[in-house]
Amino acid sequence: MQELLNHSNEINEQLARYGVKFGIYKDGAFNERLFPFDPIPRQISQGDFKALEAGLVQRVRALNAFIHDIYHEKHIIRDGVVPEEFVYRSPGYLAQCEGATPPKLVYSHISGIDLVLGKDNEWYILEDNLRIPSGASYPLIARTLCRRCSPETFQKNKVADNRNYGMLLKRTMDYVNAGGINVVFTPGRYNAAYFEHSYLAEQSGAVLAESGDLFVENRVLYYRTDRDPVRVGALYRRVSDDYIDPLFFEPSSLIGIPNLMDAYMAGNVAVINAPGNGVADDKGIYYFVPKMISYYLQEEALLKNAPTYLPYFAADMSYVMANLDHLVIKDVAEAGGYGVIFGENLSLAQREELKKAIQLAPRRFIAQEVVDFQEMPVSEGGSLVERKADLRAFVLTGEDVTVWPSGLTRFSRDPDSFVVNSSQGGGFKDTWILCQ
């Protein structure tokens, strides 16, 4: 470990040279920050990982079943498990995707599930990211650099190799491929996550392409080459739903592919992740995920949600009104951590104002108990400090559902902050899954 600490500056310099910045694409906007690396890894024992893995696989299977159901039969609404307005008012729900059936019925090929480890040693799910979860490249490249600086660290500590991510990604694309090559579709080099797009294309053996490199003809997607165009069978798109196709969605989009939705609906290309799957990672829908698990899989949820209340339900409303001072309130309409309000930080007047806002639009808010999660050591200016940290686990769905034996551990740089979102500043760590 000391070895890695000694190389900290060197590794960060190399990351900066690679252009490793963190950009979170949410609600059509990029937040770009330098993303400092802390060499002390999060370590998860093999036993703990197995338990985590089972819970994540279960959760992603249920989410996938939910997305399929929502865009087809809607049993879960009819059976009264999820109120319909949580679906139809969700910004992630796209009526344009009704009836669309992706190859092999996979909707959430690459899921980024955010968790925290509570002081009670239990994992709690913070949120599901199903649209364009980014960040897998960071621990991947950090591991590569660490191995280069200090190979002996990885001989002494038996750490599961995480360099198979590219292979897992390729397997995910191959499984749903509708005939043709695999492409990583990027908005372009000015995008904050361009480094990740090019790196993942290289790692998975896919072609990296921008909108001008791709076109749809006769309901088939093609990649231009110097010679004949080549058919594309799987498109790992890193462009958000609104902008992927100027003819079916936002007409002003210059980074989309005209008629991509036409090729997709004809079943001629797999779009990874499937358009419209954001309906399942909505903050309001989060509340219902444990119910989805029992509804679709007839299983009890293995991983816990943070205790959550929906003011939409009368009983929850009275609880929230009575306990606002110790709850976290999240505005469902906002993302990126800015719409998160801690009741204890509000003045009496502000608290009353928030209560009124909640009563006026109950569907717009969720309330959660503050999960007291474990801190992790972070090296800061030569000494160790304790900081809050979360974990983004990457779950890939192909023929099987696989959890990547690693993950992105993000920590808050502000000692008082519970918000570990990189758009609020913060750094990252590698995540080691130990072989025993």
Partner 1 sequence: MGCELSFYFDVRLAFSAPVTEHNFLLRCIPADAPEQRILSYTLSILPRSAATGIGEDAFGNRYCSGRIESAHDEFRYTLQGTAYRDDTMRSKADPPGFYRYPSPLTRPTGELRAFFESVPQGGSPLEYAAGLSARVHEHFSYAPGSTAVSTTAGEALALSKGVCQDYAHVFIALCRMAGIPARYVSGLPVGEGASHAWAEVWADGLWHGIDPTRGCAAREGYLKLCVGRDYSDCPLERGVFSGSAMQTQAVFMKVTDQ
Q: Judged by CB under 8 A, which of 80, 95, 227, 347 binds partner 1? A: 95
Identity at 365, one-letter amino acid code? F
Does the footprint of partner 1 cover residue 74 (CB under 8 A)?
Answer: yes
CA–CA separation, 126 and 308 (whole Å): 10
CA–CA separation, 109 and 48 (whole Å): 24
Shortest CB 317 distance to partner 1, Å: 22
Q: What b/e readout covers 396-405, taking b as 16+ CB neighbours within 10 angstroms?
A: bbbeebbbbb
Q: Judged by CB under 8 A, which of 87, 117, 209, 401 binds partner 1? A: 87
With contacts defined by CB under 8 A, name the span among 33-41, 95-103, 277-285, 323-331 that binds partner 1: 95-103
Q: SS3 for 124? A: strand
Shortest CB 94 distance to partner 1, Å: 8
Shortest CB 76 distance to partner 1, Å: 12
Strand partners of residue 365: 331
Residue 218: alpha-carbon gap to chain centroid: 33
Does the footprint of partner 1 cover residue 98 (CB under 8 A)?
Answer: yes
Q: Judged by CB under 8 A, which of 67, 97, 289, 292 binds partner 1? A: 97
Shortest CB 49 distance to partner 1, Å: 40
Residues 265-284, one symbol each (x = binds partner 1 by CB under 8 A, - = not), give: xx------------------
Strand partners of residue 369: 327
Q: Judged by CB under 8 A, which of 2, 121, 218, 383 binds partner 1? A: 218
Does the footprint of partner 1 cover residue 35 (CB under 8 A)?
Answer: no
Shortest CB 95 distance to partner 1, Å: 4
Does the footprint of partner 1 cover residue 69 (CB under 8 A)?
Answer: no
Q: Judged by CB under 8 A, which of 5, 77, 297, 346 binds partner 1? A: 77
Residues 6 or more apart whose Cβ sits within 8 Å of residue 247: 258, 259, 261, 262
Residues from 226 through 265 that contact partner 1 (CB under 8 A): 246-248, 251, 258-259, 262, 265
Q: Judged by CB under 8 A, which of 104, 219, 291, 413 binds partner 1? A: 219
Shortest CB 401 distance to partner 1, Å: 27
CA–CA separation, 352 and 290 (whole Å): 31
CA–CA separation, 337 and 391 (whole Å): 16
Report which DSSP code applies to 307.
Answer: P
Does the footprint of partner 1 cover residue 72 (CB under 8 A)?
Answer: no
Give the pair of three-digit tokens for residue 373. 């999660």
Q: What sign has the CA pseudo-torsion 147, 153, 155, 157?
A: negative
Phi, psi of 301 (to 5 degrees): -65, 130
Per CB under 8 A, residues contacting partner 1 are: 74, 77, 84-85, 87-89, 93, 95-100, 215-219, 246-248, 251, 258-259, 262, 265-266
